[in-house]
């Protein structure tokens, strides 16, 4: 947990072009479960081991992408305190009332220096993982698709990288696990509010703000990543790259696209982070190895396709 009470990535709202195709992808391919639909036509989903009501929200729209990402904090007092701190930092803060999203309490929304909309919230109905809290089994019956236990992290791109990193590290209390620098320019920052090697990744964009690169789902093992690759092959899912391993985070990974063009990742492994760990540095001449360790080069699609 971060020093200031941010618990974890909680939810994100993805824009999709065709709701039926998107729901089929996130349920049958990824393996999420639908937990609700609201009167605005939004569909709510969760991974099997997430206890809260939802982590992914889908909204039909004309262009794909991500409206906002949200982190859960440990209490309403923390929410109030961080809202004031974020305002003091210079962001305009908006309050969304409880119930605007299904089963979710009040949310605090602000635009960060890279142009993305970020939310904090303290309350969401716990619906459980189907195993109960007394003598639970290791996994529930009826798992399907890639079977991730949870949504894991996001990668987002924008111009004003130092500002967003300062907000996340100095105000929200994230630890800085890894960075890529090109002389004095910060090219990438990997930040954690937990013991994960990253809960969010920021990448420098020289032209555009508010770009969304991917949402990642956690898998328990490298074998499960390979099985996810089998599903991608079997079901004709649009592949980006992998299976392979990252230098940064040491995670094992495969990237692919939902039917609207939003990039997904399934990710396993990675080291355990504690706040006393020095930030790991990568240099630009080793960028290929940093991102895809054995391949040692980046594919054009990975660098340029964003929503």
Q: How far apart are CA 128 and CA 59, in angstroms?
A: 24
Residues 6+ apart with CB under 8 A from 78: 4, 5, 6, 122
Q: How far apart are CA 190 and CA 199, in angstroms?
A: 8
Q: How many CB atoms lie within 10 A of CB 45?
A: 25
246 noted as active-site residue: yes
Residue 79 sits in the site that holds Fe ion (CB under 5 A)? no
Residue 151 sits in the site that holds Fe ion (CB under 5 A)? no
Please state, in angstroms and as integers, the Cα–Cα distance from residue 109 to each residue in 68, 86, 236, following that order.
9, 10, 37
25 noted as active-site residue: no
Site string for Fe ion, 201-220 (x = CB under 5 A): ---------------x----
Nearest approach, Cβ of residue 157 and Fe ion (Å): 12
Closer to Fe ion at the Cβ: 129 or 194?
A: 194
95 noted as active-site residue: no
Per the structure block, which two tokens stand in for 248?
Answer: 């940064």
Out of 214, 218, 224, 273, the active site residue is 214
Residue 12 sits in the site that holds Fe ion (CB under 5 A)? no
Q: How far apart are CA 307 and CA 292, in angstroms?
A: 21
Closer to Fe ion at the Cβ: 108 or 193?
A: 193
265 noted as active-site residue: yes
Residue 265 sits in the site that holds Fe ion (CB under 5 A)? yes
Out of 26, 44, 255, 273, the active site residue is 255
Residue 199 sits in the site that holds Fe ion (CB under 5 A)? no
Closer to Fe ion at the Cβ: 48 or 218?
A: 218
Nearest approach, Cβ of residue 114 and Fe ion (Å): 16
Q: How far apart are CA 300 and CA 289, in angstroms?
A: 15
Closer to Fe ion at the Cβ: 119 or 265?
A: 265
Q: Which residue has tokens 């013991």?
A: 195
**How many residues sit close enough to Fe ion to count as binding (CB under 5 A)?**
2
Q: How far apart are CA 164 and CA 202, in angstroms?
A: 8
Sequence-ordered alpha helix ranges (H) in 134-207: 161-166
116 noted as active-site residue: no
User: Residue 28: which of 237, 171, 270 has the closest Cα?
Assistant: 237
Nearest approach, Cβ of residue 256 and Fe ion (Å): 12
User: Residue 118: which of 256, 212, 17, 3 has the closest Cα?
Assistant: 212
26 noted as active-site residue: no
Q: How far apart are CA 57 and CA 39, in angstroms?
A: 13
Nearest approach, Cβ of residue 125 and Fe ion (Å): 28
Region of 42-50, 86-94, 265-273, 285-293 interacting with Fe ion (CB under 5 A): 265-273
Any idea which residues carry the catalytic annotation?
A: 153, 198, 214, 246, 255, 265
- Which chain residues interact with Fe ion by CB under 5 A? 216, 265
């Amino acid at each position: 947990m971060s020093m200031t009470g941010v618990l974890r990535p909680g939810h994100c709202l993805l824009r999709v072009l065709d709701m039926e195709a998107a729901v089929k992808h996130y349920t049958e391919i990824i393996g999420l479960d639908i937990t609700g639909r609201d009167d605005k036509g939004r569909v709510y989903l969760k991974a099997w081991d997430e206890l809260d009501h939802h982590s992914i929200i889908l909204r039909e729209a004309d262009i794909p992408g991500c409206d906002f990402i949200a982190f859960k904090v440990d209490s309403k007092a923390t929410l109030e305190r961080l809202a004031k701190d974020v305002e003091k930092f210079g962001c305009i803060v908006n309050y969304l009332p409880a119930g605007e999203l299904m089963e979710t309490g009040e949310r605090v929304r602000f635009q960060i220096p890279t142009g993305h909309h970020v939310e904090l919230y303290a309350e969401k109905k716990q619906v459980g993982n189907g195993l109960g809290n007394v003598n639970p089994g290791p996994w529930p019956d009826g798992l399907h698709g890639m079977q991730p236990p949870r949504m894991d992290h996001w990668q987002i791109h924008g111009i004003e990288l130092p500002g967003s990193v300062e907000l996340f590290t100095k105000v929200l209390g994230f630890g800085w696990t890894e960075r890529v620098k090109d002389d004095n320019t910060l090219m990438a920052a990997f930040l954690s509010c937990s013991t994960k090697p990253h809960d969010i990744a920021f990448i420098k964009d020289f032209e555009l703000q508010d770009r969304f690169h991917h949402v990642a789902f956690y898998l328990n093992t490298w074998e499960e990543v390979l099985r996810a690759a089998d599903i991608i092959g079997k079901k004709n899912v649009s592949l980006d790259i992998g299976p392979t391993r990252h230098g940064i985070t040491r995670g094992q990974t495969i990237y692919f696209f939902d039917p609207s063009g939003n990039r997904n990742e399934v990710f396993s492994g990675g080291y355990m982070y504690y706040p006393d760990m020095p930030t790991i540095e990568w240099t630009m001449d080793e960028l290929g190895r940093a991102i895809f360790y054995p391949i040692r080069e980046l594919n054009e699609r990975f660098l340029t396709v964003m929503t």
